[in-house]
């Protein structure tokens, strides 16, 4: 094995581009996945019959088939209906639709974990339904759903490797192509592995940061520590978001 070659791969434009593509796929799919999940969770929350049926059907469909199947299906079948999309868009579409199903369950469990009495207290103060959601339910639910969403973020990063089958130039495809061109599997795949680990590590760090930011106690304690603020008398040891 050659360390120089691993380094060479790591800094090569094709690997950097591949890693960038993986990151872009992950971020975009996660974003749309959360949006879809949120819509589904709110539909279920609304308790209407049609809503229940729609969200059940969605979950049944997208949790019930492999992601790889969905990727291949969207890429190969949509064109025969006259819908021509780039491989990247197909990849994002498939990953988002799939992610949405899992996100819906996570977000729903978060919303349900905020007890009914908290909502009643918000309403009793004179909040409208949306104010109550925004200031009482969502801030509490956000803290509950963050760890499972962190899981999903990392899961999505790894899932994105699947779209190499429809020739999206993401990290694994680049590594595999490079490896077979140079006959240097060990070095090429090691370079890809390093990128994957670096990105998941960054995601874990991000999760810890967000968890701290959302934890009201840690937030408050951090503010109290700020001595200069205190001495200048500008300390606002309270923050309502």
Partner 1 sequence: MQHFLEIVGINKSFGSVQVLKTCSMTVAAKETVVVIGPSGSGKSTLLRSINLLEPVDSGDIFFAGENITRERKNAHLLRQQIGMVFQNFELFAHLSAIENVMLAPMKILGINLTDAHDIASDLLRKVQIPEKADAFPDELSGGQQQRVAIARALAMRPKLMLYDEPTSALDPEMIREVLDVMAELSAEGMTSIVVTHEMGFARRAADRIVFMEQGEIIESAPSDQFFSGTVNDRAQRFLDQILH
Instruction: Kindly state the DSSP code that residue 46 receives in the 8-state scheme.
Output: T
Q: Does 233 bind partner 1 (CB under 8 A)?
A: no
The rounded Cα 29 to chain-centroid distance in angstroms is 7
Q: How many CB atoms lie within 10 A of CB 161?
A: 19
CA-CA-CA-CA torsion sign (61, 66, 68, 69): negative
First-to-final CA distance of the chain = 53
Cβ at position 106, least distance to partner 1 in Å: 19
- 77 vs 125, which CB is nearer to partner 1? 125
Q: Which of 135, 189, 207, 235 binds partner 1 (CB under 8 A)?
A: 135
Rule CB under 8 A: is residue 139 a binding residue for partner 1? Answer: yes
Asked if residues 106 and 145 have their Cβ atoms less than 8 Å apart, the reply is yes
- Closest approach, Cβ 108 to partner 1, in A, equals 19
Q: What is d(CA 18, CA 199) in angstroms, rounded to the nearest whole number?
A: 13
**Contact call for residue 238 and partner 1 (CB under 8 A):** yes
**Binding flag, residue 227, partner 1 (CB under 8 A):** no
- In b/e form, how buried is each residue of 9-32, taking b as 16+ CB within 10 angstroms? bbeeeebeebbebbbebbebbbeb
Site for partner 1 in 79-118 (CB under 8 A): 117-118
Q: How far is the CB of 212 from partner 1 (least distance, A)?
A: 14
Options 13, 64, 82, 126; binder of partner 1; rule CB under 8 A: 126
Binds partner 1 (CB under 8 A): choice among 52, 128, 180, 212: 128
Give the binding site for partner 1 (CB under 8 A): 117-118, 120-128, 131, 135-136, 139-140, 143, 216-217, 220, 224, 236-240
């Amino acid at each position: 094995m050659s360390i120089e070659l691993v380094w060479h791969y790591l800094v090569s434009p094709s690997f950097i581009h591949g890693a960038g593509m993986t990151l872009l796929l992950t971020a975009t799919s996660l974003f749309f996945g959360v949006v879809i999940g949120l819509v589904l969770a709110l539909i279920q929350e609304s308790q209407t019959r049609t809503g229940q049926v729609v969200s059940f059907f969605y979950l049944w469909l997208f949790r019930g088939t492999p992601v790889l199947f969905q990727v291949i299906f969207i890429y190969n079948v949509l064109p025969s209906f006259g819908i021509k999309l780039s491989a990247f868009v197909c990849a994002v579409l498939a990953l988002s639709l799939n992610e949405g199903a899992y996100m819906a369950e996570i977000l729903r469990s978060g919303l349900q974990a905020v007890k009914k009495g908290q909502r009643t207290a918000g309403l009793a103060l004179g909040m409208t339904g949306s104010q109550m959601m925004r200031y009482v339910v969502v801030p509490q639910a956000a803290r509950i759903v963050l760890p499972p969403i962190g899981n999903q973020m990392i899961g999505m990063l790894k899932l994105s490797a699947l779209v190499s089958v429809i020739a999206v130039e993401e990290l694994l495809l680049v590594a595999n192509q490079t490896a077979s061109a140079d006959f240097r599997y060990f070095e090429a795949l090691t370079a890809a592995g390093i990128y994957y680990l670096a990105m998941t590590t960054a995601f874990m760090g991000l999760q810890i940061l967000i968890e701290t930011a959302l934890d009201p106690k840690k937030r408050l304690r951090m503010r109290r520590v700020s001595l200069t603020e205190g001495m200048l008398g500008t300390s606002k040891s309270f923050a309502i978001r």
